[in-house]
Structure 1
Amino acid sequence: MTDDNEHRQVRDGANIADNFGAYQTASKDDYHRVLASGLVVLDTSCLLSLYLYTPQTRRDFIGTFSAIGPNLWIPHEAMQEFWENREHIVEEATKLSQRTSDSLRSLEIKMLMEMQTWGRRVSLSTDQLDSLENILSRAVEEVQQKILSTGTRNDLSEARDTTRDPVLRELMGALEKNVGPPLSQSELENAIQEGQRRLANKIPPGYMDRNKADRSASGDYIKWEQTLREAELRSRDVLLITADAKEDWWRRSRGRLLGPRPELFEELAERTGKKLFMARPDTFLRLASNLFSLPVTFASVDNVLTVEGSEVNIDRRPETHDIHARAQLIAMAYSEYLSKRGIETKPATQDQYGSFTANINGACYFFKFRSAATVLRVDMLGSISQAAQQEGAEEGVILSDAIPNPITLAILERNGVAAIWRAADKSWSGNAYADQKGLTASS
């Protein structure tokens, strides 16, 4: 009798990671490889955000363009959107402080009215009420003056004139031949129709723009089609840099951006046989500065993260947001302390919330904030060492705003972890490991 197995066609099985590349975490090496030899695509949002950064951040960001060179590419549609929205963003940048100051004035009037109503109901004397109103008015006026003095963008005061726009001047120097060609009229009409079809069927990208006019609603798809064509022509992996955090571009979980939508990853793979990577502007700046050894400051990365809205990358719980804010503040303070000692710091390439590396006394260290609640967790101590290895550092160092007690010090000592904390008098202290390595001293 013939065994049924003889007639059964046997096929080799696939690895669990095969055909599921969209769900795999991109490594630091992946990003470095695509930055060095892939197609690095800038979205409209990256270009327009240059008007919102500080001048130093803008120079640092544009400096990465020259380092990447001809591998940097901008879809024609993205460039068109930039020019269409440039004047609006310039006005937004130059008038934001004044509008905020005016809004405070409106709020002051409402507060004074509420105070007067309250004063009458509790039978407050005129003198008492006048005294409280004066305190409020002086406080609001002081805040208004601070807003106008620190937030006014004098560098963009003449930016409406394209010949006096510092952003355009710097971009033109860095992007001489980096913009792709437009679609032909027939190709554009087909792309608009396809964009409308995708919008109606919630197929990425672009369906989140359904409230825009016909051409604008298809803008994301037009950029995507132009990117697919360029990637196919060059036969290279793609790294898309965008500040757009909408769900029709990103695979998300609990507010965190995990990578490109699987549909986009697979579409590029089918058209080109290549891989799609995505990064936010702050991640891009960290990665590029590390790969090309650019003198990008921690403050620049923090500025980008602030402008783009770090909340899209983090847990939405208020207590978690507070921890991340403290992390950035403590990391920035220690980074500035090291800078005063003549020690250069570089933002970490993958880790967020203020992590950075620095070469001190011939050794490279990776610094990361830990709150009092997590500093003793064994898995957290292990993650510090793992992150340090990924950043090419010899050792991980904990930064904290909580002075450790004897038990904490003993656990850190047992695990061989250096730790630094900020004292109330703003001096930096450390455990024995940190002191031995020259990481702490009075500031």
Structure 2
Amino acid sequence: MNMKDIFPEYFKDKEEISQIWKDCVFVFDANVIIDLYRYSDSTKKSLLDALRKFRGRAWISYQASEEYLRNRASVIASEEVHYADASDKIDKFVSVFKDILGKNRQHPFISEEASGEFFRAAENIKKELERNGKEYFSRVSDDEIRKELVKIFDGQVGRGFDEDELNEIFERGIDRYNKKIPPGYEDVDKCNGEIDDGSMSLEQKKQVFGDLIIWEEVIRKSVEDSKNIILVTGDVKEDWWKKSKGKTLGPRTELIKEFENRTGRKFYMYTSYKFLDISSENEGGDSIKDAVEEIKETNVSVSNKNDNVIGSVFRKINEVGGVGGFYKEDVWVNDNNEESEDYNNSQLDSYLDKVYMLSKEISELDKKNYLYEEKISRHKARLERLKDLDEYLGVDAQDKKTILTLNNVIDSLNDAQKRVQRELLGKKLEMEYYLTEKEG
């Protein structure tokens, strides 16, 4: 036997990968479809078009589909906040520009026409952000992406494992993770590294060992269908990929070897952006190149991104109701249950209306608090300069009067800021109370 026959996992050339591509099953990880909610409309369309090309050969594991359903709403909520953040930054920039113009509302080197255009443009952008933010947020209850995914994966969802089978995977997983055998061992952070203390619930174990569960489903799929597999994932961690000096060199050879030993079939992996790039290589064009770059940037940023506070609100919803809470499992597998889905969505709509209004009020109060902080800081800085002059040079009566006035203004601003902070605290407590009441 030659070296390639003995170590096939090290000899994945373009010709062999091309052969795998022709007749394989494409398996998509949860993060690939979850990230659709993070992309621009053009990039989202490009990736969905690529998925449609392989309808009938595109497959998703039960674990990955459950992760998608569990996390979908929280991702929508966390991304929606970016609209409000952008609007707040515009307000701050406009505030700085107004300071540049000064009391005369006109800068000697900036024409009135130009400054007017600036303010109008800022206002138009804010209105567009608010409009698009509301439209984006509506996906929680009326989600065109989910409807499209249901069509693409119609009849192509894994059946999952029963509890006994899962417990066997967990037991093997403890040994694998301790030995750093891929995939998934980097997820021990989800349980603070304590994977074998016996305190984790079934759902916690499914999160910690989620990658391993998907891996076992993929292997079973290959054996049962006698098919080669290409796995597409947005995960960029080292428990999936071989890396050196910051560069990704390809799938971990341990994964290729284990897969081929257990199935007798071929295996390869792509990141989301590489999958799009290769599947669309005949089309080309700037739109695909831009989409590839956006997906690449998103994959990297999301791998180290923490969910924001509002995102955690929706994670709580799913923890309380599970996948079968507001969104039932059968809606994902079979999208014909319109009446049940509408009923669940009507419950969610009233909840989301309340959460949306509270989050918007909290955002506005945060902005007011920030503006007061800026004003107080500016007045304090001016006051300190005058005090320094008084100490070293002495000041006249007019300056002393100014110092007194500044002290009074700062006191007034402090009082106003405290009122805003009390109101802000009240809104946050109202949000917390509302969530607790719903969970109860």
Q: Which amino acid aligns with 1:256?
A: K
Equivalent residue runs for 1:141-290 within 5 Å: 146=125, 149=128, 152=132, 156-161=136-141, 164-213=142-191, 214-215=204-205, 216-290=207-281
Among 62, 69, 74, the residue aligned to 1:76: 62
Cα-Cα RMSD = 3.8
Give the deviation of 1:131 after TM superposition: 8.9
Give the deviation of 1:192 after TM superposition: 2.2
Structure 1 CA distance, aligned partners of 2:78 and 2:57?
A: 31
Among 37, 57, 74, the residue aligned to 2:23: 37
Distance change in 2, residues 1:192/1:82 (3 Å): same
Equivalent residue runs for 1:128-147 within 5 Å: 146=125
**What is aligned with 2:46?**
60
Distance change in 2, residues 1:235/1:148 (3 Å): farther
**What is aligned with 1:89?**
75
Q: Deviations over 1:316-340 (max 9, x none)?
A: xxxxxxxxxxxxxxxxxxxxxxxxx
Distance change in 2, residues 1:246/1:206 (3 Å): same
Give the deviation of 1:63 after TM superposition: 2.7
Structure 2 CA distance, aligned partners of 1:80 and 1:46?
A: 13
**What is aligned with 1:23?**
10
Give the alignment's TM-score, normalised by structure 2.
Answer: 0.55
Distance change in 2, residues 1:177/1:252 (3 Å): same
Q: Deviations over 1:357-376 (max 9, x none)?
A: xxxxxxxxxxxxxxxxxxxx
Give the deviation of 1:246 after TM superposition: 0.5
Assess if the C-alpha contact under 8 Å between 1:22 and 1:259 holds in 2.
Answer: no
The structure carrying a bigger helix percent of its residues is 2
Assess if the C-alpha contact under 8 Å between 1:79 and 1:179 holds in 2.
Answer: yes
Give the paired residue count.
Answer: 285
Distance change in 2, residues 1:40/1:195 (3 Å): same
**What is aligned with 2:287?**
299
Structure 2 CA distance, aligned partners of 1:201 and 1:248?
A: 12
Give the deviation of 1:85 after TM superposition: 0.3
Distance change in 2, residues 1:19/1:157 (3 Å): same
The higher radius of gyration belongs to 2
**What is aligned with 2:297?**
309
**Which structure ranks higher in relative contact order (CA pairs < 8 Å, sequence separation ≥ 6)?**
2
Give the deviation of 1:221 after TM superposition: 0.6
Residue segments in structure 1 that go unaligned for 5+ positions in a row: 1-11, 117-124, 314-443
The SS at the match of 1:159 is: helix
Residue segments in structure 2 that go unaligned for 5+ positions in a row: 192-203, 302-440
Structure 1 CA distance, aligned partners of 2:271 and 2:161?
A: 27
Q: Which amino acid aligns with 2:128?
A: S
Give the deviation of 1:152 after TM superposition: 3.4
Distance change in 2, residues 1:304/1:155 (3 Å): farther
Q: Which amino acid aligns with 2:174?
A: Q
Q: Deviations over 1:157-203 (max 9, x none)?
A: 42111xx2110111122221111111011001111232233223222
Give the deviation of 1:82 after TM superposition: 0.2
Q: Which amino acid aligns with 2:166?
A: L
Give the alignment's TM-score, normalised by structure 1.
Answer: 0.55
